[in-house]
Amino acid sequence: MHMADALLSAEVGGIVAVVGAGAIGYSASKLKRAKNIDRLIPLMGVMGAFVFAGQMLNFTIPGTGSSGHIGGGLLLSALLGPYAALITIASILVVQCLFFADGGLLALGCNIFNMGVIPAFIAYPLIYKPLVSRSVNVRRLSIASFIAVVVGLQLGAFGVVLETSASRIAELPLVAFVLLMQPIHLAIGVGEGLATAAVLSFIYGSRPELIFASLDNKEVNIPVRGVVVALAVAAVLMAGGLSLVASQYPDGLEWAIERSTGGSDIEVAGPVHSLVANVQAKSAFMPDYDSKFAGIVGGLITLVLATSAGLVIARLARWHKKV
């Protein structure tokens, strides 16, 4: 569901980017006060790499000629809390945009909002957390994560429609676009919901304290090395192996655009679009993941970026305490 720049006007892209930046700044300020920030930092890095790899595993939607992949926003929120989750998903999207030309640079703010802000600040606190907090067990955890993922993805898909419509530069029939975007992302949401439920159930079975710590915003007082290692191994296997056999069908957004326009490409010429396209062309050293090592490289860069973001925030927190 990574938006391309051709769908957005400079005004809409800029406004949503400001909103996304504000949400990231707010998350960083809240994270500075978190008691468990030191424990969160390695999890932010490895979970960032894990979700990066997971997003490369496009799965086919039967009977549609389309495919989908996980967004990861709800999964990150359930394990890290919403503030660390948003910073981690933003790190993933920045890496994908700048180094792999996956999602437009002008559209980066929209992608952060649709794939990060919505699951972290709407689906997680309003759906997942109330359902799970009543009585945590594997069944409730699975149901809550499944419903939250599906609803969050529906809201994110509708966000794409609204942002595209407000831009008024892509000639997409609004009604047709909505009627294609929502059902295909409902199907994708089912796939992601099942995957998210499986991962959270596994972690709950091995380290339930991580689930409770996120729900209660408390410090994790157990070793997290085992979980970090398991997630790191899974990320390497997905990025270095399974991603090579991922579905080649267009994702839900590309599929909806093709069906709405009859298969014609959407291109926009303008000074802002040309500028960001040139910047992205120079920074993207593996456009469209055109290397069998792209998943490994991207996962490592994401791990470094998300970990570095956590370390900077932790250092700022210590500096403020001294002051």
Asked if the model's pLDDT at residue 128 lies above 90, the reply is yes
DSSP 28: H
Asked if the model's pLDDT at residue 80 lies above 80, the reply is yes
Q: Which are the contacts of 192, defined by CB distance < 8 A and separation ≥ 6?
A: 68, 69, 70, 71, 149, 153
Comparison of pLDDT for 157 and 36, the residue scoring more? 157
pLDDT in tens, 25-76: 999 999 988 777 888 899 999 999 999 999 999 999 999 999 999 999 999 9
Asked if the model's pLDDT at residue 115 lies above 60, the reply is yes
Over residues 287-314, the mean pLDDT reads 93
Element (H, E) at 89: helix 82-100
For 179-244, the three-class secondary structure string (H helix, E strand, C coil) is HHHHHHHHHHHHHHHHHHHHHHHHHHHHCHHHHHHHHHCCCCCCCCHHHHHHHHHHHHHHHHCHHH
Cα angle: 111, vertex 114, 119; to 5 degrees = 130
Asked if the model's pLDDT at residue 194 lies above 90, the reply is yes
Report yes or no: 193 and 144 within 8 Å, Cβ to Cβ: no
pTM: 0.94
Q: Which are the contacts of 207, defined by CB distance < 8 A and separation ≥ 6?
A: 222, 224, 226, 227
